[in-house]
């Protein structure tokens, strides 16, 4: 700030009145919620990953204005927020079968070049699509994991919404789905949301140490993530 720049209204010592100071302080705090940002990231999917190049981005805003992405993708936008806030995410606006036809997020990109190395807990191996690895199944005392049926046309957002939905009945199934996400959607844009689900599933399974390790890995990989502080707070850090 140069010597000629006046003291901002929101700061002490400015030439503005107390009313102006209060208004500009409130305006400075007027930031979007985590849920709003997550929904935006979900809708921007191909733009953030580069899938489909500029052409994908060119049609993105128009598509979402028609509400297409909002049906299938916005639900996932709030899912991580719902986990972090301890509230249930709202029900999807439409049945999944309908939303599938309207999705905007890409499904599988063979190369997977855009996905950085996976974030894995120490006892987890990369999991291809298919049955969960033994380490991901529930302990004997926990509810048995029942993998929902495979849906070939399922979008990334719908897949993770299914994982989130499984948390209540079967955290092991939710963890399995979260760990399958990486292989199913190697160019996916919702890696942060996947990790939030996986961490919550580990906590519900009583695998606290693994959850904490995954939180640490999350913080290293996504240092600027909107979810980071809440995850760390939840892990008691």
Partner 1 sequence: MTSPRTHLEVRAVFDEHARYVWRALRHLGIPEADVEDLCQEVFVVVQRKLAEFEGRSELRTWLYGICLRVAADHRRRAHVRNERPHPDPTEGLAASPGMRPDARAEARSALQALLAELDDDKRVVLVLYELEGLTMKEVAAAVGCPLQTAYSRLHAARDRLTALVEARRSNGGTP
Is the CB of 166 or the CB of 191 nearer to partner 1?
A: 191
- Residue 173 and residue 177: Cα distance in Å, rounded? 6
Quote the least distance from Cβ 142 to partner 1, whole Å. 34
Is the CB of 139 or the CB of 224 nearer to partner 1?
A: 224
Contact predicate 99/92, CB 8 Å: yes
Distance of CA 175 to the CA centre of its chain: 14
Chain residues that interact with partner 1, rule: CB under 8 A:
1-2, 4-6, 8-10, 15-32, 36-37, 39-41, 43-44, 47-50, 53-54, 57-58, 60-61, 64-65, 113-114, 116, 189, 222, 224-226
- Following CA atoms 99, 161, 47, 115 in sequence, which dihedral angle do they give, to the nearest 10 degrees? -130
How many CA within 13 A on the CB side of residue 179?
A: 28
Q: Which two tokens mark 12? A: 């002490």
Nearest to 132 by CA among 93, 90, 181: 181
Quote the least distance from Cβ 49 to partner 1, whole Å. 6
Is the CB of 28 or the CB of 169 nearer to partner 1?
A: 28
Quote the least distance from Cβ 11 to partner 1, whole Å. 10
Quote the least distance from Cβ 30 to partner 1, whole Å. 5
DSSP secondary structure code for residue 136 in this structure: G
Quote the least distance from Cβ 43 to partner 1, whole Å. 6
Cα-flanking dihedrals φ and ψ of residue 49, to 5°?
A: -95, -20
- Residue 145 and residue 170: Cα distance in Å, rounded? 6
Is the CB of 149 or the CB of 224 nearer to partner 1?
A: 224
Is the CB of 22 or the CB of 97 nearer to partner 1?
A: 22
């Amino acid at each position: 700030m140069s010597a000629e720049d006046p003291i901002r209204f929101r700061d002490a010592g400015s030439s503005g009145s107390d009313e102006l100071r209060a208004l500009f302080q409130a305006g400075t705090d007027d930031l979007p919620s985590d849920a709003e940002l997550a929904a935006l990231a979900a809708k921007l999917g191909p733009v953030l990953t580069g899938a489909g190049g500029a052409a994908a981005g060119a049609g993105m805003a128009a598509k979402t204005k028609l509400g297409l992405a909002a049906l299938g993708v916005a639900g996932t936008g709030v899912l991580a927020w719902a986990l972090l806030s301890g509230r249930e995410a709202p029900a999807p606006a439409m049945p999944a079968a309908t939303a599938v036809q309207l999705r905007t997020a890409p499904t599988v990109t063979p190369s997977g070049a855009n996905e950085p190395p996976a974030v894995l807990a120490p006892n987890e191996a990369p999991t291809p699509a298919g049955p969960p690895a033994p380490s991901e199944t529930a302990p004997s005392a926990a509810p048995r994991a029942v993998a929902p049926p495979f849906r070939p046309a399922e979008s990334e957002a719908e897949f993770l919404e299914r994982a989130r939905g499984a948390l209540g009945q079967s955290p092991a199934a939710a963890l399995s789905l979260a760990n399958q996400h990486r292989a199913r959607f190697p160019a996916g844009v919702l890696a942060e949301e996947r990790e939030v689900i996986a961490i919550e599933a580990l906590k519900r399974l009583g695998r606290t140490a693994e959850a904490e390790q995954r939180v640490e890995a999350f913080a290293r990989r996504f240092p600027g993530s909107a979810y980071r502080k809440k995850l760390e707070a939840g892990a008691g850090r």
